[in-house]
Structure formats: C-alpha cells, structure tokens
Amino acid sequence: MNDTVKKATRESYGEALASLGEKYDFLVLDADLAGATKTSTFKKAFPDRHIDCGIAESNMTGIAAGIATTGKTVFISSFAMFAAGRNFEQVRNSIGYPHLNVKIGATHAGITVGEDGATHQCLEDIALMRTIPGMKVIVPADDIEAKACVEAAINYEGPVYMRFGRAAVPVIYDENYVFDMDKAVVVREGKDITIAACGVCVASAMEAAEKLAADGIDAEVINFHTIKPLDKDTLIASASKTGRVFTVEEHSVIGGLGGAVCEVLSEENPVKVTKIGVNDVFGQSGPAKELMKFYGLDGEGVYNKIKESL
C-alpha cells in the first residue's frame, strides 16, 4: 500500500467510463451531478452518449431501464443517498425484477462525504442493494480496483451496484492487479485473527494489522470488494484458520459487510465475529478524516477496537 498516493474512487469511476467508451458501447445517465460524480469526464469525450436527466433520480432509473430493454448497457450515477435510497423502488422494480443490464455508479457514499452531513452520508446503501435479487454489490478499495470493477460490470449481464467515495484514499494495488468480481483478495496473510474489510476501510484494516503485529497479533486482512455474492470459500478458509473474525466497513453495522459475513459463518463455520462500522446512528458534518477518526474507522480506531475486543 502506498500511503503517499491517494485518489478518490469517484475520480477513478469517471476516468474509467471515459477510457472504456471506445472499447464498449454503453450510455451514461446522470441526475444533474455530472461534475460531482465525475461522469462529466465521459460527457466531454462522448457527448452523444451522455444524458443529463436533471434532479430526478427515479425518472433517470426508469429511462435507463427503458433503454436497457433495447439491448444497451446503461450506467446511472448519483450520490449513494439518492441512487440507492431515494431510488430503491425504481431500482428494485424497473431494474432488478427484469434483471436488466443497468449499472449503478453510486458516489459520495458513507461518512467520508464529510461536511455534507447526515442527510447525504448514506450508511444503508449496501444493506438496501444486497436485498435485491440478482444485484451485484461492489465496493472497491482504491483507484486501481475502482477502474477495474467498472469494466467487470460492463461484462456482467445484469444489474450491478458500485459504491464510490468522495475522499481520496490510499492506492493499494498496482497496474498488474487483476480484478475478479467473485473472488476476495487476501492483502495480508496471518494466523491469529481475520479482518474482513471493504472500500476505504481496507486501508484502515491494513494499518491496524501492522499495529497489531507489533503486539504479537498476526492478522489476516481480506478485501471483500464484492459484498454480494460474498466469496464464501475465502471467508470460511480464513475463519477456520484463525477462529476469530472482525469486519470493518464505512457503513452501518446493520446489513452491510458484517451482516453478510455473519450470515455465511453462522451457517457454514460458526466463529465469533465483531462488527466494526457505524453503530446504528446517523452521521454528522465534519472533515472526512476527522469523521473516520470519530467513528473509529481509521487505522488507529480499528486497532483500538480490535485490541479492546481481544
């Protein structure tokens, strides 16, 4: 992991759309937030394939569904609060139910939206989207993975929800990284505990693991970039080896990665699981870095919570 190189995954999303525009035939729809979601990058390169639907996310979803029925691949983009929250019925009934080829690029997810505050800090979107039958749910950890997941989504036949962030995060992987939508990545091997993380919290988990190592605790860190379907084999193998699992996510502890992990392990390999995330409260306004620290989701906070639990 290169802590000195940081980039927001929403930037990566916009760049990926633009760079893949020549290779694939798809359209991009936005809801008057092209500058913020970075689909403006695609708009500049392919103005005839970008549609601004205005501040009408549900209508945008219906338009995308209609276009998808003609055989086209369509991306829709907005803040996670609107793309998943305001949009839930339309995503469920117009995209999920007919299993259409619509990809949802949800930006500004989680508390790292920062100063926009609780109304825009969507901490429930993973829980909402993974309840929709057939919906893939992906939470990339860095710039490289974010770009790779966009291409993987294009090549997947069916709906995909991709969760991107506003704040710059450390780049973990290099250009040789190969993204497998259905396979989690062990980013650090260990034998004492398993730390399952996603998104911005993969970097936090890796930092916490290094601190734990100084205390003689060997942590295995796994990046579960795809939350649905969860890579059961990698999870069960690690849990069987360590016997103790911690989940870390920039999301509510209800229904997100922690919930998915508990669902698998309770049936397949019961071990103790501690969920680290936002504990059934709303977010608040503040700088992203300070909010991560306040909610104990930075490296130091994750380390302290694991030590306390152990």
- Residue-wise pLDDT tens digits, 291-309: 999 999 999 999 999 999 9
- Residue-wise pLDDT tens digits, 255-276: 999 999 999 999 999 999 999 9
As beta bridge partners, residue 185 has 223
Residue 186 burial (10 A CB sphere; 0-12, 13-18, 19+): middle
CA 210 to chain centre: 23
Q: Considering only CA atoms, which of 217, 227, 232, 219 is closest in space to residue 252?
A: 227
As beta bridge partners, residue 285 has none
**210: confidence class by pLDDT, cuts 50, 70, 90:** very high
For residue 151, indicate whether it is catalytic. no
pTM of the model: 0.96
Which domains, from first to last, does the chain contain? 2-171 (3.40.50.970), 185-302 (3.40.50.920)
| Distance between CA atoms of residues 246 and 201, nearest Å | 12
Annotated catalytic residue, options 57, 124, 145, 250: 57
